[in-house]
């Protein structure tokens, strides 16, 4: 029953005391696997798409509706929550999940990407195709930079009020422990495809040194904050498009141990050329320890999720599903299109007649067209519910296909249809 929670304010996920990862099935012909990540706020069946609620809210959608559409966990951002309302506020509230009324598992990104984005003036979507961006489009001039990185950390200017702040690996760990997500990421230096090779090497060395400092501070904070449930720490693999750098990062962080602590899992981050996504991810996942979960940071377009899953990634996050929804763009089995297009004015069919989401069950394309054209707030809510459900369900279907032994067929069927009628499948 959709929205049964309206009369039932308790919605609960199962609880376990600590963090673990169990692999249920591993493909023999690819790196893909099916498993369960157990967190203190419940399990995540993998592969799984983790919707993004950057500032402790998935924009325009209630957490109950996110649970209703099948979201198993949500990912927020440490940088944004540190600036507003302040990570101490989340600590006082009992942690991110409690604060935002989401009882399930939570992730926080370290803030490294956002802080460094200020530094180089990244586009909101990190360049996924080195061919289509000129250097000047991606990297701001020095005088315009809002962040400066050195070997100890990053000094940056708040995008909210211009105040100056400094993130170090220790500060990032302190902030993420206060925010209290089940899964945190180590503070890393995120580069672009346009940085030079010598700079990529320098950034890798920094990320390595920072990873050790994150483990040490994480261990200290875990021992200090004994009343809190365990928070898992994932190391972040950088190295841009370079095979030797990616493999070195995977080897170094995969075996890293400091203060008797190793990483609980790994994030694959940084500059990822879309055309090389599968190659880069497989370099890394062939080296990382098999028994720990791997999260592909910031990837969520349908065709990329297949590439990530078959190359051994377990979880994914991306703001795209909700961000494009607010501009009237929706994913469907027939490709991606914009509901504000006048061809939908008298179209009384659902957005996607194969979708089981609340929006597709109750509303037509004509209604969606109307609320978008009228700039009604509900347009964002309904379109976001559909897009998040579409992506969450797609990855759920990949998981089932792996278990059923028909992943290749399922992928061919989906991509054949998804790209067939739409020239707009890519972002
Ligand atoms: Zn739908």
In the chain, helix, strand, coil percent, each to 5? 40, 20, 40
How far apart (Å, rounded) are the C-alpha atoms in residues 25 and 34?
5
| H or E element that contains 26 | strand 20-26
Decide: 199 and 240 in contact? Cβ < 8 Å: no
Sign, CA dihedral 14-230-210-248, equals negative
The pLDDT assigned to 45 comes to 98
- Strand-pairing partners, residue 331, are 336
Decide: 315 and 44 in contact? Cβ < 8 Å: yes
The pLDDT assigned to 144 comes to 54
Residues with CB under 5 A from ligand 1 (ion): 355, 357, 359-360, 386
Average pLDDT over residues 297-312: 95
Name the band, by pLDDT with cuts 50, 70 and 90, for residue 196.
confident
To the query of whether residue 304 is one of the catalytic residues in this protein, the response is no
Beta strands 33-39 and 232-237, pairing class: unpaired
Name the band, by pLDDT with cuts 50, 70 and 90, for residue 424.
very low
Check residues 314 and 18 and name the one with the higher pLDDT: 314
What proportion of the chain, given as a percentage, has pLDDT over 90? 74
Query: For residue 5, is pLDDT > 50?
Result: no
CA–centroid distance, 346 to ligand 1, in Å, is 18
How far apart (Å, rounded) are the C-alpha atoms in residues 105 and 341?
37
Nearest 5°: the CA angle 45, 300, 371 is: 105
> What is the DSSP-derived secondary structure letter of residue 52?
B
The pLDDT assigned to 330 comes to 98
Name the band, by pLDDT with cuts 50, 70 and 90, for residue 152.
very high
Check residues 339 and 153 and name the one with the higher pLDDT: 339
The pLDDT assigned to 112 comes to 74
Average pLDDT over residues 106-113: 87
Average pLDDT over residues 19-41: 97
Name the band, by pLDDT with cuts 50, 70 and 90, for residue 138.
very low
The pLDDT assigned to 194 comes to 79
SS3 20: strand
Average pLDDT over residues 398-424: 86
How far apart (Å, rounded) are the C-alpha atoms in residues 236 and 416?
33
| H or E element that contains 257 | strand 257-258
Strand ranges for 249-357 from DSSP E: 257-258, 261-262, 265-268, 294-296, 315-318, 329-332, 335-338
SS3 237: strand
Decide: 35 and 402 in contact? Cβ < 8 Å: no
Best CA proximity match to 321, nearest among 83, 77, 38, 74: 74
**Which of the residues 68, 91, 109, 352 is marked catalytic?**
109
The pLDDT assigned to 427 comes to 34
Sign, CA dihedral 329-332-334-339, equals negative
Average pLDDT over residues 201-227: 94
Average pLDDT over residues 173-178: 98
SS3 327: coil
Average pLDDT over residues 261-268: 97
Average pLDDT over residues 322-337: 96
Average pLDDT over residues 348-374: 98
Average pLDDT over residues 218-232: 94
Average pLDDT over residues 269-293: 93
Best CA proximity match to 234, nearest among 270, 203, 273, 188: 188
CA–centroid distance, 237 to ligand 1, in Å, is 34
Query: For residue 186, is pLDDT > 90?
Result: yes
What value does the mean pLDDT of the chain take?
89
**Which of the residues 68, 91, 314, 317 is marked catalytic?**
317
How far apart (Å, rounded) are the C-alpha atoms in residues 386 and 377?
15
Name the band, by pLDDT with cuts 50, 70 and 90, for residue 118.
low
The pLDDT assigned to 376 comes to 98
Average pLDDT over residues 265-285: 92
What proportion of the chain, given as a percentage, has pLDDT over 70? 87
SS3 336: strand
SS3 388: helix
How many CB atoms neighbour CB 294 within 10 A? 28
The pLDDT assigned to 134 comes to 36
> What is the DSSP-derived secondary structure letter of residue 37?
E
Average pLDDT over residues 384-394: 98
Best CA proximity match to 168, nearest among 183, 150, 184: 150
Average pLDDT over residues 228-242: 94
Query: For residue 156, is pLDDT > 60?
Result: yes
Query: For residue 139, is pLDDT > 70?
Result: no
**DSSP labels, 302-320:** HHHHHHHHHTT--EEEESH
Check residues 22 and 420 and name the one with the higher pLDDT: 22
CA–centroid distance, 319 to ligand 1, in Å, is 18
CA–centroid distance, 69 to ligand 1, in Å, is 9
Query: For residue 217, is pLDDT > 80?
Result: yes
CA–centroid distance, 56 to ligand 1, in Å, is 23
The pLDDT assigned to 145 comes to 62
Rg over alpha carbons for the chain, rounded to the nearest Å, is 21
Average pLDDT over residues 289-313: 96
Query: For residue 167, is pLDDT > 70?
Result: yes
Indicate the length of the chain as a whole number: 427
To the query of whether residue 396 is one of the catalytic residues in this protein, the response is no
pLDDT tens figures, 46-89: 999 999 999 999 999 999 999 999 999 999 999 999 999 999 99
Average pLDDT over residues 365-390: 98
Average pLDDT over residues 233-244: 94
CA–centroid distance, 83 to ligand 1, in Å, is 34
The pLDDT assigned to 420 comes to 56
SS3 355: coil
């Amino acid at each position: 029953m959709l929205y049964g929670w309206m009369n039932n304010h308790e919605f609960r996920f199962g609880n376990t005391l600590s963090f673990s990862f169990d692999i249920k099935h591993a493909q023999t012909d690819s790196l893909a696997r099916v498993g369960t990540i157990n967190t203190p706020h419940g399990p995540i069946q993998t592969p799984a798409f983790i919707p993004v609620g950057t500032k402790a809210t998935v924009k325009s959608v209630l957490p109950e509706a996110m649970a209703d559409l099948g979201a198993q966990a949500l990912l927020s951002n440490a940088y944004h929550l540190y600036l507003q309302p302040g990570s101490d506020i989340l600590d006082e509230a009992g942690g991110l999940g409690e604060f935002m009324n989401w009882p399930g598992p939570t992730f926080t990104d370290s803030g490294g990407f956002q802080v460094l984005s200020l530094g180089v003036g990244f586009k909101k979507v990190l360049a996924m195709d080195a061919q289509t961006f000129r250097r000047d489009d991606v990297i701001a001039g020095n005088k315009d930079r809002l962040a400066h990185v050195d070997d100890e950390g990053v000094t940056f200017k708040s995008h909210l009020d211009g105040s100056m702040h400094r993130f170090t690996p220790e500060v990032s760990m302190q902030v993420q422990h206060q925010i209290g997500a089940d899964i945190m990421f180590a503070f890393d230096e995120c580069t672009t495809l346009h940085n030079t090779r010598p700079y990529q090497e320098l950034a890798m060395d920094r990320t390595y040194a920072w990873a050790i400092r994150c483990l040490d501070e994480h261990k200290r904070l875990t021992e200090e904050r004994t009343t809190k449930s365990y928070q898992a720490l994932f190391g972040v693999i950088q190295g841009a498009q370079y095979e030797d750098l990616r493999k070195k990062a995977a080897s170094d962080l995969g075996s890293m141990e400091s203060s008797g602590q190793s990483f609980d899992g790994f994030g694959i981050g940084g500059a990822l050329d879309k055309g090389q996504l599968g190659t880069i991810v497989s370099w890394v996942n062939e080296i990382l320890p098999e028994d720990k979960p791997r999260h592909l940071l910031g990837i969520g377009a349908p065709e990329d999720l297949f590439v990530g899953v078959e190359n051994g990634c377990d979880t994914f996050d991306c703001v795209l599903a909700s961000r494009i929804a607010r501009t009237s763009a929706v994913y469907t089995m027939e490709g991606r299109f914009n509901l504000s297009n006048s061809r939908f004015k008298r179209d009384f069919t659902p957005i996607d007649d194969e979708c089981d989401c609340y929006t597709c069950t109750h509303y037509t394309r004509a209604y969606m067209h109307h609320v978008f054209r009228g700039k009604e707030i509900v347009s964002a809510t309904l379109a976001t519910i559909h897009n998040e459900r579409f992506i969450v369900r797609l990855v759920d279907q990949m998981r089932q296909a792996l278990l059923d032994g028909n992943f290749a067929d399922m992928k061919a069927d989906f991509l054949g249809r998804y790209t067939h009628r739409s020239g707009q499948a890519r972002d």
